[in-house]
């Protein structure tokens, strides 16, 4: 990527004057020396994609190929679905649920725009993260999802993002959950492009009082690079649940930043990653407890096989005002192969005294005694191992309350765990 030149070109093409100003600001402050990124990308050489000379410029192809059409059909497993191809939202292919407004940012009416304009680029980490800044400048359509107050959607919305034609695809969305609403989202990325590519996705989520959000994502990027950043801003008594499952990818980086900005907020962050071959999964999470009585609960589990590398960094901040906070964090890893690695850093920063915070992390391997126990009952070694691995994953799966999602994700994990049979 010839970054600066291409980016300037892209910014100059922007029509919305407000956006153009915002983008220019970001471009001006873009840290091209990456010095700020050193600690955050200590184990994750994602910056090397910058040297890959990917082409940033593209034209919107209106047609979706027959192949994508067929692929998409496989992934649609719910009544409501939103489809984007190469970063462009395709409303004609999507099925939009009632009481939920889904539009491109550029097509918003004046009064709708206010809500999102206040939100736009406010809660993301584009000031501190190079790839978020990059996405802010070069993303295609920005999808806005606005859930009316007290709307409760029983069925989850599937968001399908397809990388089909270009080297670099950037997705952006904003979700506004109004008071008392409740929705579930299942996000998937599909790669149809055969050559190496890079995709990025930045989401900004605003949860008003008493709203509830369940967010599931399953990542299967094969030999490609991906950057994902989800930024959540929660108001009083809101609840969020995140489930992030990662199965493959040359380098996959997930940022999950949650700001519990008001009293009595509640968030659960669960992650499961099972990688083999030469791949790298990096989960960076941060929870910022700003006000009293909130609770955060985080649990990430991983199985590393092949030449994979697992990186975990969990940050918990408890501000002075956030008394009576409970914050828990834990990260467990199993290393299956001699060539795989784990780098984990559970980090706590606490300024309030009346809190209960803990973090724990473990790195270990299969328990020989447990395998022996199963084998002594006539189960083959191979089956014993896969039984134990699925038991390891079930601790995360059990946390899913939606039965449909639970069976969907169990199926995906089962398929992935089969790959470890030979190790």
Residues within the interface to other proteins (CB under 8 A): 39, 43, 320, 323, 333, 335-338, 340-365
Cα angle 106, 212, 345 (rounded to 5 degrees) comes to: 90
Q: How far is the CB of 38 from other proteins (least distance, A)?
A: 9
β-strands 168-177, 198-207 pairing: parallel
Closer by beta carbon to other proteins, 140 or else 291: 291
Closer by beta carbon to other proteins, 24 or else 323: 323
Q: How far is the CB of 364 from other proteins (least distance, A)?
A: 5
Q: What's the 3-state SS for the chain?
A: CCHHHHHHHHHHHCCCHHHHHHHHHHHHHCCCCCHHHCCCCCCCHHHHHHHHCCCCCCCCCCCCCHHHHHHHHHHCCCCEEEEEECCEEEEEEEECCCCEEEEEHHHCCHHHHHHHHHHCCCCCCCCCCHHHHHHHHHCCCEEEEEECCCCECCCCEEEEEEECCCCEEEEEEEEEECCCCEEEEEEEEEECCCCCCEEEEEEEEEECCCCEEEEEEEEECCCCEEEEEEEEEECCCCEEEEEEEEEECCEEEEEEEEEECCCCCEEEEEEEEEECCCCEEEEEEEEEECCCCCEEEEEEEEEECCCCEEEEEEEEEECCCCCCCEEEEEEEEEECCCCCEEEEEEEEEECCCCCEEEEEEEEECCCHHHHHHHHCCCCCHHHHHHHHHHHHHHHHHCCCCCHHHHHHHHHHHHHHHHHHHHC
Q: How far is the CB of 305 from other proteins (least distance, A)?
A: 9
Q: How far is the CB of 391 from other proteins (least distance, A)?
A: 18
Q: How far is the CB of 281 from other proteins (least distance, A)?
A: 15
Closer by beta carbon to other proteins, 355 or else 412: 355
Closer by beta carbon to other proteins, 147 or else 336: 336
Q: How far is the CB of 357 from other proteins (least distance, A)?
A: 4
Closer by beta carbon to other proteins, 41 or else 243: 41
Contact 235, 209 (CB under 8 A): yes
Q: How far is the CB of 316 from other proteins (least distance, A)?
A: 9
Closer by beta carbon to other proteins, 176 or else 273: 273
Closer by beta carbon to other proteins, 109 or else 353: 353
Closer by beta carbon to other proteins, 61 or else 320: 320
Name the residue with tokens 């398929």.
415
Q: How far is the CB of 195 from other proteins (least distance, A)?
A: 31
Q: How far is the CB of 320 from other proteins (least distance, A)?
A: 6
Closer by beta carbon to other proteins, 97 or else 346: 346
């Amino acid at each position: 990527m010839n970054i600066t030149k291409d980016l300037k070109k892209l910014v100059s093409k922007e029509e919305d004057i407000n956006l153009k100003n915002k983008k220019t600001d970001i471009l001006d402050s873009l840290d091209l020396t990456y010095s700020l990124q050193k600690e955050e990308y200590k184990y994750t050489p994602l910056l090397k994609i910058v040297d890959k000379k990917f082409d940033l410029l593209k034209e919107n192809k209106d047609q979706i190929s027959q192949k994508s059409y067929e692929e998409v059909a496989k992934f649609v497993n719910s009544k409501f679905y939103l489809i984007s191809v190469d970063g462009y939202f395709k409303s004609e292919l999507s099925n939009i649920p009632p009481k939920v407004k889904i539009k491109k940012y550029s097509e918003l009416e004046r009064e709708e725009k206010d809500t999102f304009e206040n939100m736009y680029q406010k809660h993301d980490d584009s000031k501190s993260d190079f790839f978020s800044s990059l996405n802010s400048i070069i993303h295609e359509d920005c999808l806005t999802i606005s859930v009316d107050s007290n709307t409760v959607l029983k069925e989850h919305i599937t968001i399908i993002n397809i990388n089909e034609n270009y080297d670099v695809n950037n997705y952006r969305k904003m979700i506004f959950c109004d008071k008392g609403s409740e929705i579930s989202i299942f996000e998937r990325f599909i790669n149809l492009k055969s050559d190496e590519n890079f995709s990025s996705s930045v989401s900004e989520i605003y949860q008003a009082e008493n709203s509830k959000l369940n967010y599931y994502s399953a990542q299967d990027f094969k030999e490609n690079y991906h950057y994902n950043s989800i930024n959540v801003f929660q108001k009083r008594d809101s609840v969020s649940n995140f489930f992030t499952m990662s199965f493959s990818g040359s380098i996959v980086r997930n940022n999950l930043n949650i700001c519990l900005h008001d009293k009595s907020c509640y968030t659960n962050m669960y992650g499961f990653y099972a990688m083999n071959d030469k791949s790298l999964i990096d989960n960076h999470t941060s929870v910022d407890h700003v006000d009293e009585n909130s609770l955060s609960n985080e649990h990430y589990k991983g199985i590393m096989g092949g030449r994979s590398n697992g990186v975990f960094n969990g940050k918990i901040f408890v501000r002075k005002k956030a008394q009576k906070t409970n914050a828990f964090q834990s990260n467990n890893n199993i290393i299956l192969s001699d060539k795989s690695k784990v780098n984990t850093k559970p980090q706590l920063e606490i300024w309030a005294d009346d809190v209960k915070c803990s973090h724990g992390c473990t790195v270990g391997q299969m328990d020989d005694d447990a395998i022996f126990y199963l084998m002594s009952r006539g189960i083959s070694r191979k089956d014993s191992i896969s039984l134990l691995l699925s038991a390891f994953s079930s601790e995360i799966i059990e946390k899913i309350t939606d039965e449909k999602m639970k069976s969907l994700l169990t199926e995906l994990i089962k398929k992935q765990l089969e790959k470890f049979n030979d190790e």
